[in-house]
Amino acid sequence: MTITIDQVQGKVPVTILGVQGDLDASNYQEVIDSATQAFEAGARDMLIDMSDIQFMSSSGLVALHSIALLLRGEKLPDPEFGWEAFNTLERDRESGIQEHVKLLNPQPQVDRSLEITGLKKFFEVYTDLDTAVGSFG
């Protein structure tokens, strides 16, 4: 898996977190760590580019949720507690659309996972970069 971080300017600065490869239990913490580093460096609005993720497990869902919590300034679930992180996601899913984290171009299999789990109601999903960047702020 490869993770890239880019900054673009829309109405507000937007950090683009690009993930290439499968997003699963073997690497989801790397994605959370990259988002945390960007947040600590000042990122407050983040677009997760999912164009090159062909497979995403439940750990990937936890990573997305953790990033949403991070950008809301909330405590992240402890990955050492396993299912507790997933249960936190379940409880929080009804909190509404996230203002500071949005998704770009999830591939069909990943998009189905987002739909089945109800996370498409939690994250705005875009297929066009300029539209996604312009939606912040």
Q: How far is residue 126's CA from residue 111's CA, in Å, rounded to a whole number?
A: 11
Residue 62 belongs to a domain with what CATH number?
A: 3.30.750.24
Q: What is the pTM of this model?
A: 0.90
Mean pLDDT of the region 111-125: 91
The strands making up 101-104's β-sheet, listed across from edge to edge, are 2-9, 13-20, 46-52, 101-104, 125-126
Q: What is the DSSP string of the chain?
A: -EEEEEEEESSSEEEEEEEES-BSTTTHHHHHHHHHHHHHTT--SEEEEEEE---B-HHHHHHHHHHHHHHTTPPPPPGGGTHHHHHHHHHHGGG---SSEEEE---HHHHHHHHHHTGGGTS-EES-HHHHHHT--
Tell me what percent of the residues of the chain surpass a pLDDT of 70.
88
Round to the nearest angstrom and report the end-to-end CA distance of the chain.
Answer: 30
At 15, the amino acid letter reads T
Range 29-34 average pLDDT:
96
Model confidence at 58, pLDDT cuts 50, 70, 90, reads confident
- Residue 42 clears pLDDT 80, i.e. is over it: yes
Residue 136 confidence (pLDDT)? 97
Q: What is the pLDDT of residue 93?
A: 59
Domain that holds residue 103: 2-134
- The pLDDT tens digits of the residues spanning 59-110 come to 899 899 899 999 999 888 776 665 555 566 666 656 678 899 999 999 999 9
Q: Is the pLDDT of residue 22 over 90?
A: yes
Which residue(s) pair with 90 in the sheet? Answer: none
Q: 117 falls in which pLDDT band (50, 70, 90)?
A: confident
Q: Say how far apart CA 104 and CA 3 lie, in whole Å.
A: 15
What phi, psi does 14 have (nearest 5°)? -125, 130
Average pLDDT over residues 115-126: 90
Domain count, the chain: 1
Distance (Å, whole) CA 38 – CA 14 = 11
The reported pLDDT for the residue numbered 96 is 72
